[in-house]
Amino acid sequence: MRRVLVINGPNLGRLGSREPEVYGTTTHADLARACEAAARELGLSAEVRQTDSETELVGWIHEAIDGRLPLVINPAAFSHYSYALRDALAMRTAPVIEVHISNPAARESFRHHSVVSAVADGTIAGLGLQSYELALQAIARLTGPA
């Protein structure tokens, strides 16, 4: 089965209790289980990770690049200012989909720009857990049969 990394940035480990009116009540563990199940349906094997560290995210992006693994990434707040993540993603060797649980375009102005979007194949935002499910569908389409 084709592997796909699903990587989540800072504060997403607090899903469930973090601003539930914005991010819902689904926990990160729930999100991981839902992604793994959605991926299986698509013939993919999803590995879901979360970190609050920019360094660790860059390391995981390098791992995906070296392994030619497709990536679903929610860079969280790093979306808006991390040139380090942007530069790492620019080296990608397989499809990359950026996801957001909320719709940053409908929120504070500092969230309106993502420095990562230009180096992703596409961005899916505002659909909660479904953002990840649609991103996995896009990865399945973009990568074709394993």
- What is the spatial distance between Cα 131 and Cα 137, in angstroms, rounded to a whole number? 10
Among 73, 89, 100, 135, binds ligand DQA (CB under 6 A): 100
DSSP 8-state class, residue 116: S
- What is the spatial distance between Cα 58 and Cα 135, in angstroms, rounded to a whole number? 20
- Structure-token match 């499809």, residue found: 95
- What is the spatial distance between Cα 51 and Cα 41, in angstroms, rounded to a whole number? 26
Closest approach, Cβ 95 to ligand DQA, in A, equals 19
Among 27, 51, 102, 130, binds ligand DQA (CB under 6 A): 102
Nearer to ligand DQA, 73 or 88 (CB): 73
What's the Rg (C-alpha) of the chain? 14
Nearer to ligand DQA, 68 or 112 (CB): 112
Does 101 interact with ligand DQA (rule: CB under 6 A)?
yes
Structure tokens at 119: 């180096």
Nearer to ligand DQA, 121 or 126 (CB): 126
How many other C-beta atoms can be found within 10 angstroms of the C-beta atom of residue 133? 20
Active site residue 100: yes
Which residues are marked as active site? 23, 100
Q: Which residues bind ligand DQA (CB under 6 A)?
A: 11, 74, 76-77, 79, 100-102, 104, 111
